[in-house]
Structure 1
Amino acid sequence: MGQFLQFVFLGLSTGAVYAVLASSLVGVHAATGIINFAQGAFALWAVYVVAALRTDGTFVLPLGSIALGSEDHPVPMAAAIALGVASATVWALLAHLVVFRPLRQAPVLAQVVASVGLMLFIQALVGLRFDTENLFAAPILPESTVSVAGALVNVSDLILAAIAITIAVGLRAYFTLTTAGIATRASSEDELAARLTGYSPDRLAAIVWTLTGAACGLIGVLAAFTIGLNETSYTFYVIPALAAALVGRLSSFGVACAAGLTLGSFQAVILWVDTKDWWPNWAQAGLGDAVPFVIVVVTLFLLGGRIPARGSLGAVKMPAVRIPRVAITPTLVVLTVAVLAIVATTGTWRYGVVTSIILSLIALSLVLLTGYLGQISLASMAFAGTAGFALSKLSTEWHVPFPLGIIAAALTATALGILVAVPALRIRGAQLAVVTLAAALAIQSFVFNNPSLTPAQGNIIADPTLFGIDLGVRDGTNLVTLRFALMVLVVVTICTLAVMRIMAGATGRAMLAVRSNERAAASVGIDVAATKLLGFAVSSFLAGIGGCLIGYSRGQLSAGSFTVMIGLTLLAMTYVGGITSVSGAFIAGTVGPLGVGYVFLNQTLDLGEYYEVIAASVLLLMAVLNPVGVAGAVTSAIEWLTAAIPRRRNHETTGDNAAQSGKKAAAHVR
């Protein structure tokens, strides 16, 4: 019993971080209606700021740095903590002023991708600005222990839990006892009424962003020594924090805090049972990361209708959709360009071309599901990875030939996609994004990174053959064979044309109706549930095909091929390209991770290390300034020019006719 309690208390440090992030998420949602996926990234920056100040006295800024000390004389701990918390506060305030305030009346999709983009931006910036390999967190809280019911408990864990509870109580007091807090809650119910009484919702929201940013920075800095420094873990602490916040229905600070502390302790207990002989081997890795996904799904499925929504000044218009038309001439032009790009390149450049073609198919799955059906999914790479690993088993152990193996593996991803789609029958918008991101993280941790399911040495994938023709990716020193590249192009072309026919037909019209208004769609006889499940099925099948093609191009798969960060980066590029159009998917493939754009950035400009920062920056700009993406902007410009030229000609013709009539009238008078 003592050992069990010891692990329960050990989990309080991580649980405290969850609790503060959850309380902050509740506060931000109450003030703005936004679910901020970048909340953990604020704490991440603060943690590394303090680590750098305590290591060599350098105060690292997003651009430049200030030497406030040295290795022999680092910045005092109190001053370092103050600067770290202040930096997190500034990030939160900038997020409100620069990103989320302009998106206050934007579609939920724009808010979600902007939040994801901010998360990617801060994490990538941390990797660039800090020496993450050589920075370590110094102890701040007491390192003593006390005995509780036979268990040795770290005093620091108890202090962190107490701080988390204090922050939750303080935020609740602000929202219930102060005039500004009460006005913030009122503006969330009726923004227009708050404005009429003299309160600015933007100014009230800025206060909440400041408070929550400082709280996240503080708990991150204080807990860093106990839980360690890791770029990815701090960023994705937002997932269990979201689970805790959703248990509190995004409205209760107390419940969210208690859920966060409980979740941290529960994950620690799972680590304890992992050491037991009776615990199965397949459950000894990643199970703790899968728990938040279960909590999110159950909570949203049971309470989805009771999660509060923010009152706004008017209806939010969704981004315009471009209905695809399968035309022979444009199709032949695109195929000709692709073939020429394959034939004219070799080595790394051809690999980039092939990768871009594959990524365009996965991006197309996002266009169909998110842009066309309106279901925000952040799990495309998880579906792709599931198919890729399934293909490894099918091709090497069961010897299923190509193309039957790729179809069977894609169907495996389809089954998983339908399973993830079940919560979409009850929830939508940002809440669905939470589910899919939690699912992606759970699949990555519990499946891809599980030694029992995925060997550490990787998964071998047999080269595809068809009618005795070897379609393998490599031939001696040739990095990508011409046969393999053309095979990829044929598969992607078939899938793309098939999806375009679906999107342009009756099924596509049903998806657009569901995207626009689910109740209205149901009133005209559209089966909303079936349409959603079909959208997830087709989208995950496309992603699965893409994952199989990635597997063939690698020859050997590892978990690093399908990380959540890669999936989010591809989502960013799809949004930049235009998430509501097929051409946007092509643009996303071109500039996607390891695609042609990346190869150009890395080999020609030698800027490959800045790829993630550039991608996230462009995403933020697009989300704020141009929600329709590059493809939508180009199409709109073409339509404007097409309409403007006839108008100008008509105007000139009218002017010429008027001039001629005037001359005739003058001659008649003379």
Structure 2
Amino acid sequence: MTTFLTYTILGLVLGAVYFIAASGLVLTYNTSGIFNFAHGAQAMFGTFLYWQFTSRWGWPVWLALVVVVGVVGPAMGAALHAVIMKGLRGTAEVTKIIVTVAVLLGTVYLAQWAWNPDEAYTVDMFFGGGAKITVAGVVVRWHEIVCLAAAVAIAVGLRLLFTRSRTGVVMRASVDDPDLVRLNGHDPERAAMLAWALGSTLAVLAGVLIVPISGGGLDANMLTLLVIDAFAAAMFGRLRSIPRTFAGAIVLGLAANYVLAYLPSAGTFAGNLRVSLPMILLFVVLVVLPQDRLRGAAVRTRERYRPPTVRSAAVWGAVLVAVVYLYSLLLSDGGVSTLALGMSFAIIALSLTVLTGYAGELNLAPLAFGAVATIVAFHVGVRGSGLAARLGVEGVLLGVLAAAVVGGLIALPALRLRGLYLALATMAFGVFLSNMVLRDTTQHELFGVKFTLFPGGSLVVPPPRLGPVDLRDGTTFLMTATVLFALIALGLAALRAGGYGRRLAAMKDSPAATAMLGQNLVRLKLGVFMISAAIAGLGGILMSAATGTVAQENFAFTVSLSLLMLVVVAGIGYISGALFGGLMAGVGGAVLVGTFGDLALEHEGPADIFTALGHLVMVLTALVGMGVGRNPSGVVHDVVEGYRAMRGAKPLLYGAAAFGAVLYVLAVTGVIGSWTFSLIALCVVMLLPVVGRAYLEEGRKRGTPLELLGVDEPYTDDLRARLDQELGLPVTAGTLKGGAGVTA
């Protein structure tokens, strides 16, 4: 009985902290319509600051709490809303999710920059671990009593705020109809900012409370994921009801501790299940609870994509293969292997293009399906041992098939989910797979066959042998991955141009209208999920073979989020967006960080500067993701439109091509290095549309006849001033610069 009471009290305490974290999510979602995936990262950052104040600087606990919970927490939430979140109105659900994901990643990178992840950090309980009382033979610490009291007070306070106060009504109305709120004399942005400030405060408070009761160890990634466990409680209340959120949090805390207390402790199953339980419950809650009905009207967003034709996809695919081959001639063996890894990530990114870009469905864990394919391919397709080991084509095919089947099985119960709910369901699967499957190092027996999913915690995946093609050679591997990317891209372009692709686009714009026209939404979703999972599985196998040895961290949930963020930044509706985002995820950040790390080791004097630049690269990557709300169509969209507008600037295009050819010859002959060639070529590609726009504008001003001024171009003050000059009329001084001026 004492054991039961002990774990019950511990479960209530853990559930109370989960509720504090989940209530912040409910608060911000109800007032802004944005689900804050960075909630756990805010809790983590605030907890690190609390440790900095108390352990390193020796502040009193009460003063550190006042500063962290009372000042830093609200300021962090208000700043997030003012700078980023209020600019997300009119964007698609994926854009809103990705912006908060970018905040999550940026906060984690910033914390790892400020606090060395290789050092140990611990946070003590309030009043110390010895401050305790005994209730019915069970020891209860004062820190745990504070957690319970705070949860009850917050539950009552939020309930009163939402139901009994004018401020709470304005907060809830701000997301439903901000224009009506303005007509009634209130400022919806101010109400949303207040909600974000309160939500951030609750996140920070949850982080400070949960670390001591979970062992006291403070780690950026672990604490972020620990607070993410509170998502299940928030969804139990459907992001609306504070009482149901409280009940869900208590159930979650009790279940986690009962699993730890009563399941057999032999092996790693019980521990893995306890860690995975919140994600299991999150998936179950999402599937079981009733969902909103289909909306009759489509919501117009600011994203605009121009799908390629099959012909253009074939031409650009051939160009890509040729460019990659020519570029591989400039690289060392290590550079070729790194680029091959980037191409495998680009193939995984194509799974997001078809699923999210074409169909509007969300998957936050594409690498989870790559992990499934890798495990199957490793166990059934590896032949030989040592240096002679190879991955056979049957292993690759079975791995891809397994990924497609698992994708269908995961999608089937979640097919009625949409938008945020579907994103959370895929996130739950990804985290569950990482915590439950990829940590499984014990031996199992099935039909008399003994096996271990992850023997020794890692898998050694040899290079594939695809018929007569042996991918042990780095260049062969790279070109094979590039050709596969081009072929899959061509298939997706054909799919998008066909009837199935048009049905997917219609489902993305308006599911209700698509269903009304007789389309089977379940079949459409199931099909596109399986196609996407199969592509991710193929990319995952190639990624594992390019890496050589893969472990749990290679398929971590944060890696999937980083890939998704970069693809959205590039343009998730474009095949070239998948190429750019995949290369950046697999090559760009790692190469830059590794380069700065090598420079820090080689030069002792400026070592700190190079180390700081390596961290800065990661933070800046996240900052780019935070700014996607300003350009939701992606960087590729701007570049493509810029080059499309340069059709009248052929001399510039010919000149750039000649300059590129000369630059390549210099690189091949060793006059310049491959890094120099890459940087100059990238700058030319990105800046050419800007130069071309200025060139065309100048040519238009010089060459447009007077009678056509203002017909094919905007009628600006500059055009008016030019007409006045040509006609001999008085010209206003400063008009050419757009100013008011005085009459000359």
Which bin holds the TM-score, normalised by the shorter protein? 0.7 to 0.9
Asked if the contact 1:365/1:542 (under 8 Å) is kept, the reply is: yes
Shift of 1:578: 0.7
1-side partners of 2:340 and 2:147: how far apart? 50
Which of 522, 531, 534 does residue 527 from structure 2 map onto?
A: 534
Alpha-carbon spacing, 1:99–1:544, altered in 2? closer, same or farther (3 Å): same
Pairing of 1:445-456 with structure 2 (within 5 A): 445-452=435-442, 453-456=453-456
Q: Report Cα offsets for 1:398-457 as digits up to 9, x if no partner.
A: 999622211110111112211222244222112211111111111110111222332334
1:102 aligns with 2:91: no
1-side partners of 2:430 and 2:393: how far apart? 27
2-side partners of 1:400 and 1:590: how far apart? 26
Pairing of 1:242-321 with structure 2 (within 5 A): 242-276=231-265, 281=267, 283-306=269-292, 315-317=299-301, 319-321=303-305
Shift of 1:49: 0.5
In structure 2, stretches of 5+ residues that fail to align are 443-452, 600-609, 649-692, 710-744
Shift of 1:383: 1.0
Asked if the contact 2:390/2:462 (under 8 Å) is kept, the reply is: no
Asked if the contact 2:321/2:479 (under 8 Å) is kept, the reply is: no
Q: Report Cα offsets for 1:298-324 as digits up to 9, x if no partner.
A: 333333424999xx9x94415222212
1-side partners of 2:302 and 2:290: how far apart? 22
2-side partners of 1:51 and 1:218: how far apart? 13
Shift of 1:397: 7.8
2-side partners of 1:483 and 1:436: how far apart? 34
Alpha-carbon spacing, 1:226–1:285, altered in 2? closer, same or farther (3 Å): closer
Asked if the contact 2:232/2:281 (under 8 Å) is kept, the reply is: yes
Bigger shift: 432-441 or 494-503?
A: 494-503
1-side partners of 2:624 and 2:265: how far apart? 48
Alpha-carbon spacing, 1:457–1:252, altered in 2? closer, same or farther (3 Å): closer
- Corresponding residue of 2:139: 152
Asked if the contact 2:31/2:195 (under 8 Å) is kept, the reply is: yes
Asked if the contact 1:363/1:574 (under 8 Å) is kept, the reply is: yes
- Corresponding residue of 1:389: 375
Alpha-carbon spacing, 1:436–1:611, altered in 2? closer, same or farther (3 Å): farther
Bigger shift: 529-538 or 401-410?
A: 401-410
Shift of 1:296: 2.7
- Corresponding residue of 1:237: 226
1-side partners of 2:325 and 2:632: how far apart? 31
State the SS of the aligned residue for 1:284.
helix
Q: Could you state the TM-score of these two structures normalised by the residue count of structure 1?
A: 0.87
State the SS of the aligned residue for 2:454.
coil
- Matched to 1:591, the amino acid is M
Shift of 1:44: 0.8
Shift of 1:110: 1.3
1:179 aligns with 2:132: no
Pairing of 1:219-234 with structure 2 (within 5 A): 219-227=206-214, 228=216, 229-234=218-223
Shift of 1:209: 1.4
- Matched to 2:591, the amino acid is V
Asked if the contact 1:147/1:153 (under 8 Å) is kept, the reply is: yes
Asked if the contact 2:155/2:246 (under 8 Å) is kept, the reply is: yes
Which of 613, 621, 637 does residue 615 from structure 1 map onto?
A: 621
Bigger shift: 199-208 or 492-501?
A: 492-501
Shift of 1:238: 4.3
2-side partners of 1:56 and 1:450: how far apart? 38
C-alpha RMSD of the superposition: 2.9
Alpha-carbon spacing, 1:167–1:464, altered in 2? closer, same or farther (3 Å): same
Q: Report Cα offsets for 1:260-289 as digits up to 9, x if no partner.
A: 122122112212234456xxx573342234
Shift of 1:600: 4.0
Pairing of 1:107-126 with structure 2 (within 5 A): 107-126=92-111
Shift of 1:631: 0.7
Asked if the contact 1:249/1:308 (under 8 Å) is kept, the reply is: no
Q: Report Cα offsets for 1:194-250 as digits up to 9, x if no partner.
A: 211101111111111112222221232133222221212321234332211111121
Pairing of 1:555-594 with structure 2 (within 5 A): 555-593=548-586
- Corresponding residue of 1:494: 487
- Matched to 1:154, the amino acid is R
2-side partners of 1:275 and 1:233: how far apart? 25
Shift of 1:117: 0.8
- Corresponding residue of 1:444: 434
Bigger shift: 40-49 or 78-87?
A: 78-87
Asked if the contact 1:285/1:449 (under 8 Å) is kept, the reply is: no
- Corresponding residue of 2:308: 324
Bigger shift: 353-362 or 552-561?
A: 552-561
| Percent identity over paired residues | 28
Q: Report Cα offsets for 1:90-149 as digits up to 9, x if no partner.
A: 211111111111113322221111111111111111111123424321332453444444
Pairing of 1:191-206 with structure 2 (within 5 A): 191-206=178-193
- Corresponding residue of 1:67: none
Shift of 1:458: 1.3
Pairing of 1:368-447 with structure 2 (within 5 A): 368-396=354-382, 402-447=392-437
- Corresponding residue of 2:204: 217
Alpha-carbon spacing, 1:598–1:397, altered in 2? closer, same or farther (3 Å): closer
Bigger shift: 513-522 or 551-560?
A: 551-560
Asked if the contact 1:384/1:544 (under 8 Å) is kept, the reply is: yes
1:19 aligns with 2:19: yes
- Corresponding residue of 1:636: 641
Asked if the contact 2:373/2:538 (under 8 Å) is kept, the reply is: yes
Pairing of 1:57-68 with structure 2 (within 5 A): 57=57
- Corresponding residue of 2:73: 88
- Corresponding residue of 2:501: 508
In structure 1, stretches of 5+ residues that fail to align are 58-73, 474-480, 659-670
Asked if the contact 1:37/1:238 (under 8 Å) is kept, the reply is: no
Alpha-carbon spacing, 1:369–1:43, altered in 2? closer, same or farther (3 Å): same
- Matched to 2:213, the amino acid is T
